[in-house]
Amino acid sequence: MTTPRDDAGQTPDQAPDQTPDQTPGQTPDQAPVPAGSAADESVDDSAVTSQATEDSVGDQALADAGLPAEGGDARGAAGARPPHRASLAHRLYNGQAGLAVVAKRRFWFRVTAVVVLLCVLAMGVRGFNFSIEFSGGNSLRVPATSEQLADVREAAEGAGADVASAQVVGGDSVLLRTSALDNDTERAVVDAVAEAAGVEPSAVSPQSVSADWGGDVTNQALIALAVFLVAVVAFLAVRFQPKMAVGAIVALLHDIVVTAGIYALVGFEVSPSTVIGLLTILGFSLYDTVVVFDKVDENVKDLTKSNRSTFTEASDLAVNQTLMRSINTSVIALLPVAGLLFVGAGLLGAGTLKDLALVLFVGLAAGTYSSIFLATPVLAALKEREPEQQALRKRVLARRASEARNAGVPAPGPVASARRGGATRRSAVAVAERPGSGALPARPEADVQIESPSSVQAAPAQPGAAPGGASAPRPGQRPQRPAGKKRR
C-alpha cells in the first residue's frame, strides 16, 4: 500500500517542519543524519581543535606521561597504573614514565650551580694551556718515525728549547712546538734534532709564530660569538618570546663555561681547532633548545584561557615529549666524536685531533644537558612570575580541589519508578536515604480520597459550560462534587 503524499512530499501525519527521516517529537537538529551525506561529512573545526587541545595538555595527558599534577594526583581520573618492572630507560623510551624536570627545577638549578662553580675554579686555579698559535713560539718539523719521537724531543730539550708538545704527524714526521727561540738557540735545536733523527739539518723545517696572530684569532672568535648571541636573541624573541631567548642564552653560557672548565681541568691545548669546535657545539645546543621550545610554545598556546594545566605542567610535558628525541640525537652525535677522541687520539696517537674531539664531546654532552634541564626550567621560572600565570595556577588548583571533593561523594543510586510493580530505573538524580537503611521508605497513605471518574455525574448544562456537560471551572477554582453526593 502506498502512503499518499502532498505537494511538499510529506505524508499526511507528518508535521510541516518535519523531515522524512525525522521521528515525531524530534527537532531537525536531533534527527538522524543519513550516512554518506554532505551533513554526515561536515566537521566543526572549532570543536575539534578545542577537544584536541584539551586532550594534548591536561590532566589525562600528564597521567599518560607519568607526570604528577600540582595540587592532586593526575592519575586519579585514569586509575592507578600497574607497576612496571622494566628499567627507567625502557619506560622513558616507551612513554610509560616521565621526569619531573620543570616541576623540580630548583634541584636542577643547584646541580648546575655546583658544576659551573667547579669549572670556574678549574679555570682560575689551573688556567689554560694555549698553543703557540695563541702564545707565540717556534715549531720544528723533522722527518722521523714514532720510534724516534722520544730521542728527538730529548735532543731539542738538551739544546735549550722548552718543548711544549711533540707528536708524530703524517706517519713519517715529528712536529715539535717550543717556546719562542732566538736565532742562535733555533740553529742549535735544528742541528740537535737532525742528528737525533739521522737526517741533514736542511731537512728540518723551522717556523716562528708570533703571538699577535693568536691575538687576532681570539678577537675574531669573540666577535663571531657576540654576533651569534645577538642573532640568537633576535630570532627567539621574534619567533617565540623574549623570555625564551633568555633561557637559551643561559643554556649557551652554561655550555661555554663547562667546556672551558673541562679544558682547563684536563690540560689540553687550546688551539684554533678548539675555537672552531666551540662555535660548532653552540649551534648544536641552540638547535636542541629550539626544538624543545617549539613544543613548549605548542603546549602553552591559549593556556591562560582555560584551567586545564599550569605553565609548569605544560612545559614539563613538552620536555618529556621531546626527551627521547633529544637523547637519541645526542647519542648518535656523540658516538663518532667519542671514537675520534678515545680511539683516534687515545689509542692511535692522533694528537692533532684530540683538541677538536674533546671540545666536541664535552660541548655536545653539555648542550644536551642544558637544553633539557636548564633552558626550559629557566623559562618556567620567569613565566611563573607573571600575574596571568599566577591566576591560571590558582584556577587549576581550585578546579582540582573541587574535583577531589566531588570524587568523595557516593555514586547516585536508583530512583523508584512511578509505575506500580515496575522495575527501578537508573537516574542521575540522587535519592535521599534514611541513615542506616539501604531501602526506600514505604509508600505513605493518601490523606485525601480522590473520586473515581464513574462517581462524578454530569450537571445540567449552563451558559459557558464546557462540552461534555461539566461546567468549566474558573482558573484556580477547586472542582466541586455533585449535590447530594457524600464522601465515602
Per-residue HEC secondary structure of 85-149 comes to CCCHHHHHHCCCCCCCCCCCHHHHHHHHHHHHHHHHHHHHHCCCEECHHHHCEEEEEEECCHHHH
The predicted pLDDT at position 352 comes to: 62
Residue 479 maps to a domain: no
Q: What is the pLDDT of residue 425?
A: 46
Residues 171 and 117 in one domain: no
164 plus 246 within the same structural domain: no
Name the stretches of the chain with pLDDT < 70: 1-89, 92-96, 170-171, 211, 344-352, 408-488
Contact 358, 230 (CB under 8 A): no
Q: Report the domain count for the chain.
A: 2
pLDDT of residue 482: 59
DSSP string, 345-364: IIIS--HHHHHHHHHHHHHH
- Say whether both 181 and 300 belong to one domain: no
Residue 198 is predicted with a pLDDT of 87
In this structure, are 180 and 218 located in the same domain? no
| Domain-embedded: residue 283 | yes
User: Is 248 a domain residue?
Assistant: yes
Which of 209, 239, 273 corresponds to the end of one domain?
209
Instruction: Return the number of other C-beta atoms located less than 10 Å from residue 474's C-beta.
Output: 6
Whether residues 346 and 272 fall in one domain: yes
Write the pLDDT tens digit of every residue in 416-441: 444 444 444 444 444 444 444 445 55
- In a domain, residue 305? The reply is yes
Give the pLDDT confidence score for residue 488 in this predicted structure.
53
| Residue carrying the nine cell digits 515496575 | 422
Q: Are residues 368 and 392 in the same domain?
A: yes
CB 380 within 8 A of CB 311: yes
Q: What is the CATH number of the domain that holds 276?
A: 1.20.1640.10
Whether residue 85 is contained in a domain is answered as: no
Walk across the sheet containing 205-209 and list its strands: 163-169, 173-178, 137-143, 205-209
Looking at residue 423, its pLDDT comes to 44
**174 lies in which domain range?**
137-209
Measured CA distances, 472 to 29, 110, 349 (Å): 40, 88, 116
Q: Do 274 and 376 sit in the same domain of this protein? A: yes
Query: Is the same domain home to 299 and 168?
Result: no
- Cβ(181)–Cβ(161) under 8 Å? yes
Per-residue pLDDT of 267-323, as tens digits, reads 887 888 888 888 888 888 888 899 999 999 998 988 888 888 899 999 999 999 898
Single residue among 156, 188, 209 that ends a domain in this structure: 209
Do 296 and 375 lie in a common domain? yes
- Residues 248, 163, single domain; the answer is no
138 phi/psi in degrees, rounded to 5: -125, 150
Residue ending a domain, among 162, 179, 209, is 209
CB of 164 closer than 8 Å to CB of 209 = no
User: Could you tell me the CATH number of the domain that includes residue 193?
Assistant: 3.30.70.260
Cell numbers placing 321: 615529549
**Assigned domain for 87 exists:** no
Domain match, 162 and 250 both: no
Task: Show the cell assigned to 98.
Answer: 616521565
Q: Is residue 19 in a domain?
A: no
Q: Tell me, yes or no, if the pTM score tops 0.85.
A: no
- Interior angle at CA 321, CA 316 and CA 325, nearest 5: 125
Residue 335 lies in a domain: yes
Nearest to 62 by CA among 384, 259, 305, 315: 315
What is the helix (H) or strand (E) element at residue 178, kind and residue range? strand 173-178
User: Quick one: pLDDT at residue 426?
Assistant: 45
Max CA-CA distance within the chain? 152
In sequence order, what are the residues at sequence separation of 6 or more whose Cβ sits closer than 8 angstroms to the Cβ of residue 109?
377
Same domain, 317 and 393: yes
Nearest residue to 236 via CA among 249, 245, 226 = 245
